[in-house]
Amino acid sequence: MVRPVKNVLIVDDEETLTWSMAKSLSRDRDKYNVLIANTGNDALEILRNHTIDLAITDIRMPDINGLDLLTAIKNNYPGTKVIIMTAYGSSDIQKEANKRGSLYYIEKPFEIADIRKLILDILWKRSGFEGKVFDLQLTDVIQLNCLGRVTAALRVGKGNETGVIYFNDGEIIHAECDGRIGKEALFTILRWREGKFDHERGKTPPQQSISQNWEHLLIEGMRKNDEGVFPRFGGHEVASADIWGSGVEGDSQTKLHGDAKGRAQPMEEAVRSIARLSGCEGTMIVSEDGIVLAHNAIQNTVKEGALVAFLGVLSNKLSEILDTGELHGILLGRKKMKVILRNRPYYFEVHLKEGVRFDEVSQSIWRTLSSLGELEGSSESIGD
């Protein structure tokens, strides 16, 4: 039986990118046609005149952004699946997590072989899986605003309840909901399992009531939804003190965060031991709720810690959906790789030197972590 040829729309304001993608994807012309648009309005015109099975769009465009286009698709063409091209860090685990719906992500720059495989997987190989853009979750909408560095107001309604989330250059800086403001309002909105939203671009907030970065906020919201309370570090509340270790010779100091009594020595030993390994240039230990407990030669630790915990939440959700058991490793990047390893209740992030592959140092890293024994509160060793 001959399968019908489908239509794929590529939307990006970089004409060289859309042209090169269309040319490279032409080898699959027997499976799908490629249409291109260099503005959001051109994309809407194509959607009106053609049945589009898959739209591949950048988040940021001069006339309308990826969220506006996605909203139009959601409202008018719910059978169209969507790939979001983003400069936000991606990984194999994120690509697997894409299976939860028809909103998929791929990191720019990407290999044409990767996007080609993703297109074929979405159009042909997902038997028994039917994703619709109207399955879009509120967290997806929030992430698109943040990834696109949007300034806007997102108005959300559920029954008689209403709320507004304000974004400034992609950061969540204010929220209001039925008399509540700030994080309390944001987390109230995030608890809603259904509702409607309206997006007002360029709307500035009346005040700033939130100062945390958006990744950490979403992690907090997801954990509140899943558990009702924040998880605690090692069975104890996290203290606010910062304690400095002596660091690795020739490197920046090792910083320990939190209630370090009884933890400073194993934390410091873990960070030092990994940092000494050939091929490694930095490492950190992160709690399940995104707090960096110890680090060496890592910049932007707040953002890095939030991202590590966020990916951990995604991997846990993925393992539940696929029934694969807990995932223990995540690889990020190409030339300079980051490796996230799981050892309950902590995550270890290791930054590798440029050109070093994880398989070249994996045995040394596993061996070093195993030799450290269990840190306080750890119930499972890596690789079990």
The answer to whether the pTM exceeds 0.85 is no
Residue 105 to residue 91: CA distance in whole angstroms: 10
pLDDT in tens, 119-158: 888 887 543 333 334 445 677 778 777 877 778 899 888 8
DSSP-assigned letters across all residues of 247-271: --TTSPPEEEES--TTTHHHHHHHH
Residue 149 to residue 251: CA distance in whole angstroms: 34
Task: Answer yes or no: is pLDDT of 68 > 70.
Answer: yes
Q: In what order do the strands lie in the sheet with 242-244?
A: 242-244, 254-257, 292-296, 280-287, 346-352, 338-343, 329-332
Nearest to 294 by CA among 269, 276, 277: 269
As a whole number, mean pLDDT of residues 185-203 equals: 83
Domains and CATH numbers, the chain: 6-135 (3.40.50.2300), 138-211 (no CATH), 242-371 (3.30.450.30)
Residue 184 to residue 221: CA distance in whole angstroms: 10
Range scoring the smallest mean pLDDT among 7-11, 31-35, 225-229, 340-344: 225-229
pLDDT in tens, 206-262: 999 998 888 788 777 776 665 443 333 233 232 222 222 223 333 334 444 444 344
- What is the reported pLDDT for 47? 94
The neighbouring-strand residues paired with 283 are 296, 350
The dihedral of CA 209, 211, 214, 220: what is its sign? negative
- What is the reported pLDDT for 226? 54
Residue 256 to residue 274: CA distance in whole angstroms: 15
Task: Answer yes or no: is pLDDT of 58 > 80.
Answer: yes
Task: Answer yes or no: is pLDDT of 192 > 80.
Answer: yes
Give the percent of the chain with pLDDT over 70: 71
Angle 285-286-292 (CA atoms, 0-180°, nearest 5)? 90
- What is the reported pLDDT for 97? 38
Q: Which of 9-18, 171-180, 253-262 has the highest mean pLDDT?
A: 171-180
The dihedral of CA 292, 294, 352, 373: what is its sign? negative
Residue 247 to residue 213: CA distance in whole angstroms: 27
H-run or E-run covering 176: strand 171-177
